[in-house]
Structure 1
Amino acid sequence: MATRRAPKLDKKQAVDTALRLLDEVGLDGLTLRAIARELDVQAPALYWHFKNKQELLDEMATEMYRRMVAGQRIAPGATWQERLTAASTGLRTALLGYRDGAKVYSGSRFTGTEHAVRLEENLQAFVTAGFTLPQAVRALTTAYLFTLGFVTEEQGVEPAPGERRDGFDVTERAARMADFPLAATAGAELFQDFGQGFEESLRLLIAGIEARYGVA
């Protein structure tokens, strides 16, 4: 019986190419065949590493996470508020580094256990601050889901830096909704200055956690 030989193509090379191609074609245009063409290999070479597109997305999200934590430093003595702020801000920055970054990350499953290192540190910091473990899990999960949802909507308006989708012109929207003055004016808050909006929303979230669990 002939032995099945592993292809010369390295998995990390495929993932790096996929993340680079993502910026050009977006998630909808990212296929295993497109990546194979970019690497000048046949599609079966990729199927050796990834059974389907979701397995590829899982590995892409994992690599995005690796890159994020490699450049993220959280002081050992940071308060839980500082830790949550740093983690959420760092995640937003990382996701914005890729076209459709939030969509790739959303619903993906990390491969391996590398992410458990930071998760363990965060949970320990929260428990030490006075949270029960279930409260710590809920607080961290809420911040994570908020950040993921915020960036998903943000990239729906601005898919890439300096790029804005049609239909999100604030002035045009205000004119179209002139009969609804509050809703018309709200467009300036909803569809621009995303960085400022994220920071304020994160402060609201942290204040809510403090009030709910009584841990200052």
Structure 2
Amino acid sequence: MPPKLDRAQVVDTALRLLDETGLDGLTLRRIATELDVKAPALYWHFANKQALLDEMATEMLRRMSAGSPELPDDWREALAGTCRTLRDGLLGYRDGAKVFSGTRLTDSGHTGGQHALLAVFDRAGFALADAVLALTTAYAFTIGFVIEEQAVHPVPGERAPGYDPDRRAAGIDPEYALAAAAGREIFGDFEQRFERGLAIVVAGVGASLKPLSTPSAP
């Protein structure tokens, strides 16, 4: 008799299949086949695909958090490091950013890390509202960046059809030479662009959301 199916087993299988099928090809039926059960067996644990995606995103965050280093005291380093950890974690799964985007976390396990990061901003003298704005802005930048990155490179080392800069440039009217040349920047070195974009976000936080005059006591 096969072992009893549990939520963790379903989620682990779904994350593994995600690398093979991508988000569009990931169905409850495909997961059930992989687990050698009938699709209705999955509905004991997840009412629909969105509920499964919510749990997948939560498990992804658990895994990211388990391997994340201790936060530095400087808010700039803490914010940038958190975004790098998020990007690296999402890139570990095909369509990882799409799965993560717009999902609802299914437990409160993330709140400890969230509190720790907000505490770094608090000690630096930021108002809570400004700290939250800084975090959510950097988060949105990172998620959006990785969605675009994974559209170009759905599988590491492979470029999706339609994203070749030379072919793109050849199809653009010569009158729009700047738009044609921009392709090499848009679809080029994502690592460098992420770091430069992240630096802009961090600098913008420092310039626009100035800390209060008196930081909180440690």
1:47 pairs with 2:43: yes
In the alignment, structure 2 segments of 5+ residues that lack a partner are: 213-218
Q: Distance in 1 between matches of 2:91 and 2:7?
A: 24
Matched residue type, 2:65: V
Does structure 2 retain, via aligned residues, the 8 Å contact 1:130–1:215? yes
Cα deviation, 1:148-195, whole Å, max 9, x if unaligned, reads 001111111111101211111111222222331111111111011001
1:214 counterpart = 2:210: yes
- Residue 109 of structure 2: which of 106, 114, 137 is its match? 114
After TM superposition, the structure 1 stretch with the greater mean CA deviation from structure 2, 175-184 or 189-198, is 175-184
1:66 maps to which of 49, 62, 66: 62
Alignment correspondent of 1:179:
175
Deviations 1:114-162 (A, max 9, x none): 0001001111111110110000000000000110001111111111101
CA-to-aligned-CA distance 1:31-66 (integer Å, 9 cap, x gap)? 111100000011122111000001100000011001
1:25 alignment partner in structure 2: 21
- Partner of 2:13, secondary structure, is helix
Structure scoring higher RCO (CA < 8 A, sep ≥ 6) equals 2
Instruction: Give the structure 2 partner of residue 87 of structure 1.
Output: 82
Question: What is the root-mean-square deviation of aligned Cα atoms in Å?
Answer: 1.4
Aligned residues: 209
Which residue number in structure 1 is paired with residue 191 of structure 2? 195
Gaps of 5+ in 1: 1-6
1:3 aligned residue: none
Could you tell me whether the CA contact under 8 Å between 2:149 and 2:190 is conserved in 1? Answer: yes
- Distance in 1 separating the partners of 2:202 and 2:119: 18
Where 1:73 maps in the other structure, the secondary structure is coil
Q: Which amino acid in the other structure matches residue 102 of structure 1?
A: A
Shift of 1:104: 0.4
Q: Residues 89-108 of structure 1: matches in 2 within 5 Å?
A: 89-108=84-103
Q: When the two structures are superposed, what TM-score results if normalisation uses the length of structure 2? A: 0.92
CA distance in 1, matches of 2:160, 2:103: 26
Aligned residue in 2 for 1:154? 149
Q: Provide the TM-score with structure 1 as the length reference.
A: 0.93
Residue 4 of structure 1: aligned partner: none
| CA distance in structure 2 between the partners assigned to 1:138 and 1:168 by the alignment | 33
* Poorly superposed stretches of 4+, deviation over 6 Å: none
Q: Which residue identity does 2:161 align to in structure 1? A: D
One-letter code of the match for 1:59? E
Q: Does 1:13 align with 2:4?
A: no
Distance 1:214 1:118 in 2: 23
Q: Specify the code of the residue in structure 1 equivalent to 2:153.
A: E
Aligned residues: percent identity? Answer: 59
- Deviation for aligned residue 1:28: 1.0
